[in-house]
Amino acid sequence: MTTDTKQPEKVSKQRQRADWLLENRARVSVLAALAFLFIVALAGLESKDWFPTIMQGLSVGALTFLVASGLSLIFGLMDVLSLAHGEIFMLGAYVGWTVYTRFDTTVDATVPLLLVIAPFTLMPLWQRMARWLRTLGRKWHFGIWILGLGVVYAAWYVIFAAGDADAIEGEVSGAGAGVTIIVSLLFVAAAYGLYRKWRSNDGSVESVKEAMSLTSWSLLALGGGAAITAMTKFPLVIWDAEDFAKSPSNFAVQVDLGTLAPLPADSFGWPALVAFVVLLLGGSLIALALSSLQTAIGDVAPLTRKHWTGFVAMVGLAIVLHLTKASLNEWVFGLSTTWRFFLAIAVATGLGFAVGAFIEVVLIRPLYDRPIYQLMITLGVGFILIELVREVWGRPEFTMARPAAFNGTGEGCPGQGLGGFFSGCSTVEVFGGRLRVYNEGFVVLVGALVLIGVTLLLKKTRIGMVIRAGVQDPEMVEALGINVRRVFTLVFAMGSGLAALGGVLAAPSIGLSSGMGATFLLGAIVALAIGGLTSFPGAAAGALLVGLLQQIIIRFGQTGINLPFLDEPFKPSPTVVPAAAILLMVVILLVLPSGLLGRSER
Amino acid sequence: MSLLRLEEVHTFIEQFHILEGVSIDVPEGDIVALLGRNGAGKTTTLKTILGLTPARSGSVFYDGNNITGRRSFDIAAMGIGFVPEHRAIFSDLSVEENLLIAERERGDFAAKEDFIFGLFPDLKRLIRLPGTNLSGGQQQMLAVARALVPNNRLLLIDEPSEGLAPVLIEQMMEAIRRLSSESTVLLVEQNFIVASRLAQHFVIIEEGRSIMSGAMKDLVDDDETIKRYLGAGTGGAT
Amino acid sequence: MTTLTPTPQSWLRRRRGLLAMVALLIAFPFLVSIIVDGQGLGAVIANDQGNARFLQGLAIEIFILAIYALSYDLILGVTGLLSFGHAMFFAVGAYTFGIMLKTHEMQWVAALVVVLIAAILQAFLFGVVLVRVKGIAFALVTLGLASVFWIVIQSSDLQQWAGAEIGLQGVRAPVWFLDTTNERFAFYLVTMTLMILCYVLYLRIIDSPSGKVFHAIRENEDRALMLGYNTFWFKLLVLVIASVTASLGGVLHTMHQPIVTPNIAGLGFTVTALLIILIGGVGTITGALVGAAVYRLLQFYLDRWFGAASELLIGLAYVVLVLYLPYGIVGTWRAKAAKRKEGWERLRTLLSPGERPTS
Ligand SMILES: Nc1ncnc2c1ncn2[C@@H]1O[C@H](COP(=O)(O)OP(=O)(O)OP(=O)(O)O)[C@@H](O)[C@H]1O
Ligand SMILES: [Mg+2]
């Protein structure tokens, strides 16, 4: 009998080996075909063209890689294909642009954000409070629900209905009336629903849980309402995207020369102290709501000095920023654009990281048992981010001036040879071709650094080890006593941070538009699919391939391809360039469903 | 005093009711064998203890604490090691990394290195190899070794002898016997001979229910029961 | 459940709700004309300006969206194929019909035949893909194919046919009952009839033995394979049905809209379908109709009230729906109507995807 069970295993092992060979044959031939095509393509170019073409390919590849790397880590580890990733890239670009060109607005926006986030440092406090809430009677819960609804209603009224005053009479106020009716109806319906829930609360575990979750949502509404209202009433430097759109070049020149004067702070809205308190309160309520939504049983960590230090530091920073913003702005606007650019990189990357962590914890985590819905929700998040950007920054496309260190002209420019990259010129001549130092030098350099950095992280650190193990079998990692969810959050945040970094880097070379995210997401997905969905080196290789392919086709679009059966050279139009990369993906996926470097699944 | 106790545990995987009442008592310091046909629910029982497939009702007590409903990593960190079936080692990691990843505190592995390599001398030679390159038997040893890295009081071992050559089975048995001096073991084993020689107690699971338990020496003589519930070697029917 | 063939009468009786809806939809323009516009019944037939005409236009858009979403629900909700290229199914119908009429000056019947052939061909194209890849890779390949189509119809190389980035414009209605400008009520009735036909047809398909196999494929394709079904042919069938239906929606879109923009081929329009069936209830078929109505009305009024911010609100609504109302309106309704717990349980098993999307 035992031999019976052994035999099929042996057969399947042989088959596996045969399959493996077969698969690798396909892989090797695809690689060979690609290499051949590239050589033929490069050989078809003039000698002064091929080096710039490759470097431009590397540049686009590096940007694509910054999006694709996070995407591949996230997909590998948690099986979530984050379709919001491109929009985080876009968000990075816009935030970076704002820090770079409008530091004053950045400072003003940072203060309320810091205040809302600060209470999150006191999580144990909120957890303890949430536990206490659980012991409250029904009447208290009901009171909180009603209060929550009321505050949201009031906040909405303050923001929308009262804001109608300066809109065009008639039409808008008619719409306002419609909205008021609907919101009021919703309010009544919700109150009735809550009342019924309250009536049916019989003290069983289920119903307490339900009451608790309703309370948490009410608290969330309360906190959110307070925070949003206070933010709209916070004294911000108002600056209109339209101003920029009217004369982008003028704007850019002013930025370069450092002559862009900070606008005077508008003194509308609430007194600063009131706004401060309301923001802190709103943040606290949100934190409390989120911690009472968590149903984990585990123990609450003690509230230590560390937590309070963090809290005080954040609030203190907010206050200091607020008080010193005039001189701070002056100082930053006096800095060279290069320094401001690095500041922009840091801020945007950090924000991308935070946004990623938030998305994972709040939106992705509740859906781990419904993978398709995870995919759908990332789509939704992307959609929201695009609309948010359009709301805040407007629809006109932006350009971003290159930082001074990569923008030199005049004496001794363009730089010569490889050393020319460090000459401070905007362009450099290498092997007879002309390159832009920023695009083909700096961007590629950062891309390479990130590749090396992440590879080292994955190979050399414990967290990297956990990630690699988690890609293969998250359940087993959890069984070893490692909190995999936390690793998920970290990886999602890290991937988002890298995407945002890509966005800032891209801004000076390709400009900003609300469509840039979709373009790069598509490129990154193609790269991922080509490289093998879960393979990190695969993502790098795929991104490189995508970049090179696109640039080569663009180059051929200029010179034309001499096809033997055509009289005139065939010139592919630039708009169809992305199509080529996608077709490459389709072909590669069909030939190799697990990509070039991916592990073949079954 | 029992280190681990399951009381009337029911577990669902998606909508399927897999465990329909499992009660187990594992005394500290002993080896308990979990027996049953293929698909009886042995693996699911181990996963339920670890919270990987959480129990919907019933309770799991470990060291006197009710651990039902806790997160898996939390449970494992209380000192429970898991050796999954089918040699689930991390094939992308090297042998060394496979051992290092199991550390709960820095230096765990260094402290246990001699003990582990004493049990499985082969592993020392293979330490730099990637997991994929190991043979099936070596993978199985690595999986057991991995569970030994931190100081685990309880080991859940799922079919350690599966697919091993007789020589290796002997070696594995010897290893389990020796490690049981350090930890309590709950052992799932299809090979009854192996199970009977290692364990002091047994629990039989049939269609998701624990239907019988007692001292191993009583079961060994009870051909009737063995034939009826363990199929006497006619494994393979699902 | 009986083996008797249902008589037409009994079928009608079972579909009382549907008939009532049809009657209401036919009466709708007249009611609006009388009550809101204060005009007579003749105003509708005479195609006068006013709310009746405008609301008919809105309703036609809803019908078209419903046809489009129905086909997506068959693919994603019923059969569980994660396709991100569905907009292409719609756009191919829209563009093919428009180009055949405008550039090639075809007879409308002939143009419809060309659309049909195109629809079947593209379903086969997707089917070929299905042979090789599944799950997330299928989603990516379909996304890729649709993106290529989207890029190509926008390219200046095809300007004279597809109108590049602006889109296809100046397609004239070939017959009177497809003329939304001059014979709005007739076109209203045509789109409504087609939508109802599709809906009834889909319900029948799902009740048929093949429909059971579609469900089985979503639940567990391996098991369906083991039961001896060649699941590939069933999946191909689903793709063909969905492609033809969606193309029909596209054809009507071309007739209704003055300009066919390339947007209808983009990922955004696939998301629209997704949003509609999420609102209505994934896999419920009826949900596609409900969802289309809710979606379009919501979009219309939000746009009116909040202007540019409406898109943001729709995005937020979408996220909230995914998180807290995964069974949609129809799904939730049914779950409540059935015996409480049992219904939920069944629905949950129906909706929880059997396989992880990686496999
Ligand atoms: N993910 C799952 N979905 C549905 N059923 C499952 C799943 N996992 C396990 N089962 C079922 O649960 C039952 C118990 O499985 P389990 O793996 O615990 O059996 P076992 O006793 O370990 O068997 P073996 O000796 O073959 O390893 C089996 O009938 C199996 O089909
Ligand atoms: Mg098992």
Q: A237-272: per-residue pLDDT in tens?
A: 444 455 555 544 455 555 555 555 444 444 445 677
Residue A270 CB contacts under 8 Å (≥ 6 apart), including other chains: A230, A233, A234, A235, A278
Distance of CA B158 from the midpoint of ligand 2 (Å)? 7
Phi, psi for C194 (deg, rounded to 5)? -65, -40
Report the C-alpha gap between C123 and C234 in whole angstroms: 12
CA dist list (Å): C39 to A169, C45, C105, C188, C229: 29, 12, 39, 19, 59
Per-residue pLDDT tens over the stretch C257-289: 888 999 899 888 998 898 899 889 888 889 999
Question: Which pLDDT value is given to residue B127?
Answer: 85
B73 touching chain A per CB within 8 A: yes
My answer on whether B5 and B75 are in the same domain is: yes
Selected for mutation to probe chain B from A20, A368, A460, A480 (highest B CB count within 10 Å) is A480
pLDDT at B173 over 50: yes
Domain termination residue (choose one: B130, B148, B166)? B148
Nearest CA to ligand 1 atom 12: B18
What six digits make up the tokens of B117?
A: 């390599």
- Are B165 and B228 in the same domain? yes
Q: How far is B236 from chain A (nearest CA, A)?
A: 8
Tell me which chain C residues have a C-beta less than 8 angstroms from the C-beta of B15: 345, 348-349
CB contact residues (below 8 A), chain C span 72-111, against chain A: 82
Q: What is the pLDDT of residue A566?
A: 64
Q: Nearest chain A residue to C311 by CA: give it.
A: A387
Q: Residue B69 is part of a domain; what is its CATH number?
A: 3.40.50.300
Among B128, B148, B168, where does a domain finish?
A: B148
Q: Which of A226, A235, A233 is nearest to A283 (CA)?
A: A226
Q: Which CATH topology does C33-306 take? A: ABC transporter involved in vitamin B12 uptake, BtuC (1.10.3470)
CB contact at 8 A, C155 and A580? no
Q: Whose CA is closest to atom 29 on ligand 1?
A: B39
pLDDT category at C17 given cuts 50, 70, 90 is: confident
Q: C141: distance to nearest CA of chain A, Å?
A: 6
- Nearest-5° Cα angle at A167, A166 to A171: 145
How far does B10 lie from chain A, in Å, by closest CA?
19
Domains of chain A: which residue ranges? 101-166+174-336
Distances, alpha carbon C186 to alpha carbons A548, C21, C60, C65, C177, in Å: 54, 18, 11, 18, 5
Better-scored residue on pLDDT, A397 or C85: C85
Domain of residue B98: give its range.
87-148
Smallest-distance ligand from the CA of B84: 2
Best of B42, B53, B204, B211 to mutate for ligand 1, by most ligand atoms within 8 A of CB? B42
Residue nearest to atom 16 of ligand 1 (CA): B41
Q: Based on the structure, what is the number of domains in chain B? A: 2
Instruction: Give A-chain residues touching C359 at CB under 8 angstroms.
Output: 601-602
Q: Is C3 exposed, middle or buried (0-12, 13-18, 19+ CB in 10 A)?
A: exposed
pLDDT digits (tens, 9 = 90+) for A400-440: 888 877 777 767 677 776 666 677 777 777 777 777 888 88
Compute the nearest-CA separation of C134 from chain A (Å): 9
Contact residues on chain A for B235, CB-CB shorter than 8 A: 1, 5
Q: What is the pLDDT of residue C291?
A: 93
End-to-end CA distance of chain C: 36
Of B69, B101, B163, Cβ closest to residue A480: B101
- CA B190–ligand 2 middle distance (angstroms): 9
The pLDDT of residue A373: 84
Q: Does C223 touch chain B (CB under 8 A)?
A: no
Q: List the single residue in C with minimal CA-CA distance to A582.
A: C144
Pick from A193-207, B11-25, B159-173, C19-33: least confident: A193-207
- Weakest mean pLDDT among A32-41, A76-85, C268-277: A32-41
Looking at B127, B148, B169, the residue that finishes a domain is: B148
Which one-letter amino acid corresponds to residue A12?
S
**Looking at the predicted structure, is the pLDDT value of residue A193 above 50?**
yes
List CB contacts (< 8 A) between B84 and chain A.
476, 479
User: What is the per-residue pLDDT for C356?
Assistant: 40
Å from CA of B208 to ligand 2 middle: 12
Q: Residues 463..492 of A with a Cβ closer than 8 Å to C: which?
A: none
Domain ranges of chain C: 33-306
Do residues A94 and A516 make contact, with C-beta atoms less than 8 angstroms apart?
no
- Same domain? For B179 and B229 the reply is yes
Least confident of A299-308, A412-421, C51-60: A412-421
Question: Mind listing the pLDDT tens digit for each residue in B177-200?
Answer: 888 888 899 989 888 888 888 888
Q: Are residues B158 and B133 in the same domain?
A: no
**Helices and strands of chain C, counted as H and E runs:** 17, 2
**Structure-block tokens of residue A303:** 């509230």
Asked if C348 is an interface residue toward chain B (Cβ–Cβ < 8 A), one would say yes
Q: Residues with Cβ within 6 A of ligand 1?
A: B 13-14, 16, 18, 36, 38-44, 85, 190
Note the pTM of the prediction, 2 decimals: 0.82
